Amino acid sequence: MSEEDRSVVVYWRPGCGYCMRLKASLGDLGAKALWVNIWQDDDAAAFVRSVNDGNETVPTVVIDGTAHTNPSASTVRERLETLA
């Protein structure tokens, strides 16, 4: 996957209300992000712990290389709207 395709990565897990709310708030724009289930990807879970003081706090969203813990939908939407 190219860097352009990785500009927004959402780390999430099933049953997370905050993750479901983010996804719903993004609507169709959410399809432009790469969604990574931390319960199916050990490296992803380790990354989330590394940027959240050892906690698996989700959603953790990486936008252009910067991790954001439980960001607002508007923050994520702004970046997704700029993608082709």
Domains in the chain: boundaries: 4-70
Among candidates 68, 53, 54, 84, which has minimal Cα distance to 11? 68
* Percent of residues, the chain, with pLDDT higher than 90: 88
> Taking the C-alpha atoms of 1, 8, 33 and 56 in order, what is their torsion angle to the nearest 10 degrees?
100
pTM of the complete model beyond 0.75: yes
Instruction: Provide the pLDDT for residue 56.
Output: 97
Q: Tell me: the pLDDT tens digits for 20-54?
A: 999 999 999 999 999 999 999 999 999 999 999 99
Q: Does domain 4-70 have CATH number 3.10.20.30?
A: no
Among candidates 60, 56, 61, which has minimal Cα distance to 79? 61
* b/e sequence 44-57, b meaning 16+ C-beta within 10 Å: bbebbeebbeeebb
Number of H helices, E strands in the chain: 3, 4
